Amino acid sequence: MKIESSSDAAAAQRFRIGYAFAPKKEQSFIQPSLLDHASQNGIDFVPISITDSSSEEEAAEALIQQGPFHCIIHKLYGHRWNHQLKQYSSKYPQTLILDPPDSIERLHNRVSMLQVVSAIKLNSQFNISVSVPKQVVLQTPQSPDSIHNNTNDGAVEFPVIAKPLLANGSAKSHEMYLVFDPKGLQTLLPTNTTTSASTQPILLQQFVNHGEVVFKVYVIGEYVQCVKRSSLPDISEQQLTASEGQVLRFSQISNSPQPQEEDEHGLGLAHDPHEMPPSDFVEELARGIRLGLKLNFFNFDVIRDSGNPHSYFVIDINYFPGYAKLPSYEQVLTNFLLALLTTPTQKDHQLEPATTEEEEEEEEKEESDHDHLGDGEGGGDASLLP
């Protein structure tokens, strides 16, 4: 008789993973290579149909009818979707929701998303400090006096990056500006309410010279991958003076490949800006952020101070980034899901619907009747029953 190993058992069982993404995200992430690799390893990805034409309760029921799933992965936001997930989970509580909406919500605010960094205690052996650049939130519209008070109390120093406080994935939330001085900021912020958009809070994040390099750290559970990308150039005192009143608009930090080390971007810096940060440090930082945020799918941007190779800053955290850009992302994601779904803490993968109170009472009655039968026929010893 052949005894199945745990890996054989896992391979014999198929897992149904529901996914819910906006069309653009689905197109980039759900690649044929991912579907093929996952299928060969016992995972079937199933698209979740989302409709906006029905009521909240009807939409929630539609999600329930598409189940059950062993796991749901998603990148949809808003009360309606959160309600659907909540109703689904009440019916199938053993389905893993990756990630919980309450945890994702923290990343929608550029202040709350970075608060986790201050709570991380790094191993002293790294001799590295990690923090967040100085920040201040401006409510708009702003008067010139109010702008002056908010930027001259030591909270931030120019130049600054001006970003919408809300990071909800919309095109508006990616509108960012490099602001060189208070005069430029006054041209950016309206001093009277002209449009509804002008009333949105703005985050001013102090710009830190970082050698034109940003390190993007991708996280899938315990898997961590750090890559280099080009970023904004350093700003000298002479450039700052020459750029009086200027505002530089950019949609997002470039994803272009990092220039080679023979380029002259690193001249005059305290260290080579292209040198990757220590892998142990990156993994510990990623673990701290993952546990602090209670998230499995995210990436974060880290920069290194041009003047101090031991000083790093976390400047942004994004939920469910473009994993398809990573080599072998198909294998990484599949391995993560298999490890999660086959762990001993996941006791039941049959995904039976949760029983109602009436069903529980009926089950208790049946068990009680069975017990009485056992007592009368065989003294409660099941081995004596016919």
- The response to whether 80 counts as a known ligand-binding position is no
377 or 285, which is more confident: 285
| pLDDT bracket for residue 75 (50, 70, 90) | very high
- Give the pLDDT score at 3: 33
Q: Is residue 90 part of a domain?
A: yes
322 assigned binding-site residue: yes
CATH of the domain at 27: 3.40.50.11370
Q: Is there a binding annotation on residue 222?
A: no
- Tell whether 212 is in a known binding site: yes
pLDDT exceeds cutoff 60 at 2: no
The answer to whether position 40 is within a domain reads yes
In a domain, 233, yes or no: yes
Instruction: Let me know whether 40 and 149 are in one domain.
Output: no
Domain annotation covers residue 52: yes
Can you tell me the mean pLDDT for 297-324? 97
Residue 294 is labelled as binding a ligand: no
pLDDT in tens, 182-211: 999 988 876 655 444 447 899 999 999 999
Above 70 in pLDDT, residue 138?
Answer: yes
365 belongs to an annotated ligand binding site: no
What average pLDDT does the segment 80-106 reach? 97
Query: Any binding-site annotation on 179?
Result: no
Q: Is residue 386 part of a domain?
A: no
> Does 163 carry a binding-site annotation?
yes
- The answer to the question of residue 349 being in a domain is no
Mean pLDDT of the chain: 82
User: Does residue 174 sit in the same domain as residue 306?
Assistant: yes
Domain co-membership, 84 together with 218 = no
Does residue 47 register a pLDDT over 80? Answer: yes
**Pair 139, 288 in one domain:** yes
Instruction: Mark whether 47 and 87 lie in a shared domain.
Output: yes
Q: Say whether both 95 and 121 belong to one domain.
A: no
Identify whether residues 169 and 77 lie together within a single domain.
no
- Evaluate whether residue 9 is within a structural domain: no
Q: What is the pLDDT of residue 304?
A: 97
* Residue 301 marked as a ligand binder: yes
For residue 370, the model assigns a pLDDT of 42
Q: Is the pLDDT of residue 231 over 70?
A: yes
Q: Is 214 annotated as a binding residue?
A: yes
Q: What pLDDT is attached to residue 155?
A: 74
Kindly state whether residues 204 and 235 are assigned to the same domain: yes
Confidence band for 46, pLDDT divided at 50, 70 and 90? very high
Does one domain contain both 157 and 114? yes
Annotated ligand binding at 316? The verdict is: yes
Residue range(s) defining the domain that contains residue 281: 110-190+198-258+275-319
**Is 206 known to sit in a ligand binding site?**
yes
**What digits encode the pLDDT tens for the residues 214-228?**
999 999 999 999 999
Check which CATH number belongs to the domain holding 115 and give it: 3.30.470.20
Last residue of a domain, one of 319, 335, 352: 319
207 is in an annotated binding site: yes
- The answer to whether residue 134 scores a pLDDT higher than 90 is yes
Q: What is the pLDDT of residue 133?
A: 97
Q: Is 280 annotated as a binding residue?
A: no
- One domain, residues 136 and 55: no
Model confidence pLDDT, tens digit, residues 328-350: 999 999 999 999 999 876 545 45
* Residue 366 located in a structural domain: no
Is 52 annotated for ligand binding? no
**In the chain, pLDDT over 70 holds for what percent of residues?**
75
Among 79, 99, 119, the domain-final residue is 99
- Please compute the mean of the pLDDT values over residues 161-173 and round it to a whole number: 87
Total structural domains within the chain? 2
Q: Is 132 annotated as a binding residue?
A: no
Banded model confidence at residue 249, pLDDT cuts 50, 70, 90:
confident
**The domain boundary residue, chosen from 267, 286, 319:** 319
Look at 97-101, 270-274, 282-286, 378-382 and tell me which has the smallest mean pLDDT: 378-382
> Is 86 labelled a binding residue?
no
Is 336 annotated as contributing to ligand binding? no
Do residue 86 and residue 125 come from a single domain? no
39/116 same-domain check: no
318 marked ligand binding residue = yes
The 3-class secondary structure across the chain, one letter per residue, is: CCCCCHHHHHHHCCEEEEEECCHHHHHHHCCHHHHHHHHHCCEEEEECCCCCCCCHHHHHHHHHHHCCCCEEEECCCCHHHHHHHHHHHHHCCCCEEECCHHHHHHHHECCHHHHHHHCCCCCHHHCCEEECCCEEEECCCCCHHHHHHHHCCCCCCCCEEEEECECCCCCHHHCEEEECCHHHHHHHCCCCCCCHHHHCCEEEEECCCCCCEEEEEEEECCEEEEEEEECCCCCCHHHHHHCCCCEEEECCCCCCCCCCCCCHHHCCCCCCCCCCCCHHHHHHHHHHHHHHHCCCEEEEEEEECCCCCCEEEEEEEEECCCHHHCCCHHHHHHHHHHHHHCCCCCCCCCCCCCCCHHHHHHHHHHHHHHHHHHHHHHCCCHHHCC
Residue 143's pLDDT band (cuts 50, 70, 90): low
25 annotated to a ligand binding site: yes
